[in-house]
Structure 1
Amino acid sequence: MREVTIAAVVFAGAGLGGVARHLVNRAVPLAISMHFPLSTMLVNVTGSIAMGLLAGWFAFRGEASGQTLRLFLTTGVLGGFTTFSAFSLDAALLWQRGASAMTLAYVLGTVLASLIGVFVGLAVMRALA
């Protein structure tokens, strides 16, 4: 029964994360981003920062929070919010349109900024611990 409860918690979190992602996509229309998949990049970078903050919190301060909350927020909410599958599709579509420089900027920018985001989040929580 515990696994069913945990699965339901992750499911609920993923739904919230998916809705949040949809709202970001609506807030950053493709026309504003000059046909660059900015909303996906923003989701992946902010999601990575949030993942670093949450991982840092649970590692350094959240021992009393429990595994259920951790799974709800990280696997559920952030798993539903960030999607590297959309990132991969956007990169492939840019490449297929012949925008090789934009593809390179998108891929490197997203990956590097996301990695930096996790390190920054971890550092912030380490400093607060």
Structure 2
Amino acid sequence: MNWLLVVVGAAVGAPLRYLTDRAVQARHDSVFPWGTFVVNAAGSLVLGAVAGASVSSPAYALLGTGLCGALTTYSTFSYETLRLAERGRRFLAVANAAASVLVGLGSVFLGLELARALTA
């Protein structure tokens, strides 16, 4: 039954990723992939909160695996970083990779601590 919860979470996460990416990118006249950066940071924050709240296995399947799995996107991050490098924007490629990892880790730890503080 958990597989169905993953499907439901992903059915929300994937369109949310697409719409958020398009909305963020439309506001920035930049080659930097701000949309992907934002959805990955937000997804990391939510996943940290889900983990910190010590939710049940079904809730984790819905929110952690389904929602966050579809909301965040390592493949698009990798592709956009590669495209920046191929187009001669090596500084932006390195900045995207470094900032995405640092912000992602920071977001997951922040979500974890927020959830622990709120559930303690």
CA-atom RMSD, angstroms?
Answer: 1.3
Please state if 1:92 is matched with 2:82. Answer: yes
- Deviation of 1:33 (Å): 4.4
Q: Tell me, which stretches of 5 or more residues in structure 1 are unaligned?
A: none
Q: Residue 101 of structure 2 aligns to which amino acid in structure 1?
A: V
Q: Which residue of 2 aligns with 1:16?
A: 12
CA distance in 2, matches of 1:79, 1:16: 11
Structure 1 segments, 4+ long, off by >3 Å, are none
Q: CA deviation at 1:80?
A: 0.5
Alignment-derived partner of residue 73 in structure 1 = 63
1:114 aligns with 2:104: yes
- The answer for the alignment partner of 2:47 in structure 1 is 51
The answer to whether the Cα contact below 8 Å between 1:52 and 1:122 also exists between their aligned partners in 2 is yes
> When the two structures are aligned, how many residues end up with a matched partner?
119
3-state secondary structure, aligned to 2:2:
helix
SS in 2 for 1:29: helix
State the AA in 2 paired with 1:48: S
Contact 1:30 1:38 in 2 (8 A): no
TM-score scaled to structure 1, two decimals?
Answer: 0.86
Identical residues among aligned pairs (%): 36
Question: Which residue in 1 is equivalent to 2:117?
Answer: 127
Amino acid at match of 1:91: T
After superposition, the Cα gap between the structure-2 partners of 1:33 and 1:117, relative to the gap in structure 1 and judged at 3 Å, is: farther
Q: Which has the larger radius of gyration?
A: 1
Distance 2:26 2:66 in 1: 27
